[in-house]
């Protein structure tokens, strides 16, 4: 039953209606969330701190897109408390194969040190998780994600729940009603990630 809930058509329908899945930590039952308020990063409001600007100017990291989606997702799951279980790895791996999920990878000396992944439907990108093994590596990936979304005429970058870290990067909280409006606008815009 759980596998059926995470089929690509059901996942797409859920995201289109403003929901995303996470497993219950005790039972692994799939739960659907639509937070109010919702966290989004305005594409013209991503905050680049002085230290991040220096890091970007140094070009100490190389950035790629969709080069190793499953490695990014597995690295995001590699922490003591994670909701990314095998069911999610399988489901989003399938979404990636269908061109509906994407990753941004940050490399240092040919080693994957950071990344972010998420789901793409029309002009909306739903960021799921990110990781870093080196200073600012996930921030660099997120910066390049924002640049890609701007270049490709996306209008929405959703980041689920607000945290102080996301707020420091320019994320804002919007009401459920405002999020639904932003989502409708984004879904009406054709956009390609690659």
Is omega for the bond preceding 28 within 30 degrees of 0, making it cis?
Answer: no
The CA distance from 180 to 147, in Å, is: 23
Question: What letters, b where the CB count within 10 A reaches 16 and e where it falls short, cover 131-148?
Answer: bbebebbbbbbbbbbbeb
The CA distance from 104 to 71, in Å, is: 11
Please determine, for residue 3, whether its predicted confidence score (pLDDT) is greater than 80. Answer: no
Could you tell me what percent of the chain has a pLDDT over 70?
98
Domains and CATH numbers, the chain: 36-187 (3.40.630.70)
The CA distance from 163 to 53, in Å, is: 21
Name every residue whose Cβ is closer than 8 Å to that of residue 122 and which is 6 or more positions away in sequence: 186, 187, 188, 189, 190, 191
Q: The pTM is what?
A: 0.96
- 2 pLDDT band (50/70/90 cuts)? very low
C-alpha 82, offset from chain centre:
15
């Amino acid at each position: 039953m759980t596998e059926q809930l995470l089929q690509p058509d059901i996942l797409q329908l859920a995201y289109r209606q403003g929901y995303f899945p996470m497993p219950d930590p005790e039972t692994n039952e799939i739960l659907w969330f639509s937070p109010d308020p919702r966290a989004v990063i305005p594409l013209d409001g991503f905050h680049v701190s002085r230290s991040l600007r220096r890091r970007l100017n140094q070009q100490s990291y190389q950035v790629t897109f969709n080069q190793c989606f499953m490695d990014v997702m597995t690295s995001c799951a590699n922490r003591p408390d994670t909701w990314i279980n095998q069911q999610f790895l399988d489901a989003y791996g399938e979404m990636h194969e269908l061109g509906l999920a994407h990753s941004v990878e940050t490399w240092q000396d040919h080693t994957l040190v950071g990344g972010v992944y998420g789901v793409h439907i029309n002009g909306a990108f739903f960021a799921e998780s990110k990781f870093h093994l080196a200073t600012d590596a996930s921030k660099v990936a997120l910066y390049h994600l924002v640049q890609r979304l701007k270049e490709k005429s996306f209008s929405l970058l959703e980041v689920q729940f607000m945290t102080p870290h996301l707020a420091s990067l320019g994320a804002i909280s919007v009401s459920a009603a405002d999020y639904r409006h932003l989502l409708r606008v984004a879904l009406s815009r054709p956009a390609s990630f690659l």
